[in-house]
């Protein structure tokens, strides 16, 4: 057994991605694409993904350590299962072979792998009591390593401390409990996981907004960013023309504009970039 899949395994798992990768084989969506996606809304991202045939890319119903703070980053995934002694023995032995210390909690193994721009995405089957993946100490480690945060389909503890982490960081979670994590075993890092109704692969781009968490496959991230930007620009144009009473809402609020309005938009866009 391996805690971390090999490079070849990750490349096969994410074969749709043809761009740059980390040394581990995890897709590395470019920083400029991440920066563009920080301006996207959940609805813009979801709309493009839905049209592309990816219809289960959203998970809602979260609490946040920093409500309203939008996060965007590359997923590092992890899954925990209910503790079973023989399986846990296998995991501990595999962890030792891969350089993890037996005395360290298995949730810290995940944090050790994080890099700048990552989002730690943890499937702990919605466990809250004794399912607290991070408190303020490990949360600080996540924040310092990633500068972004985490999505935890389970619990956290020490919310008062976590809420004081620096701006720009946010941890999406299901609920808060004072108990420490126990009664679980790490099943793997950078493997496919389920968050709500969405499947997350390592290297996917996580877009966390007040609406919820959108999971953007790495190979679609650039297209989603471009589509979202186009939608934002069209919204500006449409509102301007409505305020000028050039067009009616019935003409603007449609999936596809008439040819003359589209031509007007393209000319306006050129003028804005001049």
Residue 226 has pLDDT above 90, yes or no: yes
Structure confidence at residue 274 as a pLDDT band (50, 70, 90): very low
Domain membership flag for residue 167:
yes
Domain membership flag for residue 155:
yes
Residue 272 has pLDDT above 90, yes or no: no
Given 217, 236, 254, the domain boundary residue is 217
Question: Are 209 and 249 members of one domain?
Answer: no
Question: Are 156 and 246 members of one domain?
Answer: no
Per-residue pLDDT tens digits for 187-204: 999 999 999 999 999 999
Question: Are 102 and 120 members of one domain?
Answer: yes
Domain membership flag for residue 187:
yes
Question: Are 210 and 266 members of one domain?
Answer: no
Residue 167 has pLDDT above 90, yes or no: no
Question: Are 28 and 135 members of one domain?
Answer: yes
Question: Are 69 and 205 members of one domain?
Answer: yes
Mean pLDDT of 240-249: 95
Mean pLDDT of 152-167: 95
* pLDDT for the residue 132: 98
Mean pLDDT of 113-123: 98
Share of the chain above pLDDT 70, in %: 99
Mean pLDDT of 14-24: 97
Number of domains in the chain: 2
Question: Are 33 and 155 members of one domain?
Answer: yes
Binding-site residues from annotation for substrate: 135-138, 157
Determine the structural domain holding residue 207 and report its residue range.
7-40+53-217
* pLDDT for the residue 20: 98
Mean pLDDT of 20-43: 97
* pLDDT for the residue 65: 98
Binding-site residues from annotation: 135-138, 157-158
Mean pLDDT of 229-233: 88
* pLDDT for the residue 255: 86
Domain membership flag for residue 1:
no
CATH number of the domain bearing residue 124? 3.50.30.40
Residue 101 has pLDDT above 90, yes or no: no
Question: Are 205 and 233 members of one domain?
Answer: no
Residue 127 has pLDDT above 50, yes or no: yes
Question: Are 163 and 268 members of one domain?
Answer: no
Binding-site residues from annotation for Mg(2+): 158
Question: Are 166 and 248 members of one domain?
Answer: no
Given 217, 236, 260, the domain boundary residue is 217
Domain membership flag for residue 188:
yes
pTM assigned to the model: 0.92
Domain membership flag for residue 47:
no
Per-residue pLDDT tens digits for 206-216: 999 999 999 99
Domain membership flag for residue 162:
yes
Nearest to residue 198, comparing CAs of 46, 80, 48, 68? Answer: 46
Mean of per-residue pLDDT scores for the chain: 96
Share of the chain above pLDDT 90, in %: 93
Question: Are 252 and 157 members of one domain?
Answer: no
Domain membership flag for residue 48:
no
Per-residue pLDDT tens digits for 75-89: 999 999 999 999 999
Question: Are 95 and 181 members of one domain?
Answer: yes
């Amino acid at each position: 057994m391996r805690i971390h899949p090999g490079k070849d395994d990750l490349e096969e798992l994410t074969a749709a991605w043809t761009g740059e990768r980390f040394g581990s084989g995890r897709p590395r969506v470019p920083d400029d694409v991440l920066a563009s996606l920080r301006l996207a809304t959940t609805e813009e991202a979801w709309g493009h993904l839905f049209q592309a045939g990816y219809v289960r890319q959203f998970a809602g119903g979260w609490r946040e350590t920093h409500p309203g703070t939008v996060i965007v980053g590359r997923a590092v995934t992890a899954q925990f299962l209910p503790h079973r002694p023989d399986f846990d023995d296998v995991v501990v032995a595999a962890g030792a072979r891969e350089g993890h210390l037996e005395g360290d909690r298995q949730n810290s193994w995940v944090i050790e792998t994080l890099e700048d721009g990552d989002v730690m995405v943890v499937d702990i089957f919605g466990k809250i009591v004794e399912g607290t993946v991070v408190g303020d100490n490990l949360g600080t480690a996540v924040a310092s390593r990633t500068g972004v945060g985490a999505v935890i389909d389970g619990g956290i503890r020490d919310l008062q401390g976590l809420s004081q982490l620096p701006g720009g960081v946010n941890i999406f979670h299901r609920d808060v409990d004072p108990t420490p994590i126990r009664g679980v075993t790490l099943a793997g890092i950078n493997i496919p996981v389920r968050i709500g109704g969405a499947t997350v692969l390592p290297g996917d781009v996580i877009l966390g907004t007040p609406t919820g968490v959108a999971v953007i496959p790495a190979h679609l991230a650039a297209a989603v960013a471009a589509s979202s930007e186009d939608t934002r620009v069209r919204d500006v144009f449409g509102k301007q023309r409505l305020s000028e009473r050039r067009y009616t809402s019935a003409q603007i609020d449609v999936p596809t504009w008439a040819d003359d309005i589209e031509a007007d938009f393209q000319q306006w866009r050129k003028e804005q970039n001049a």
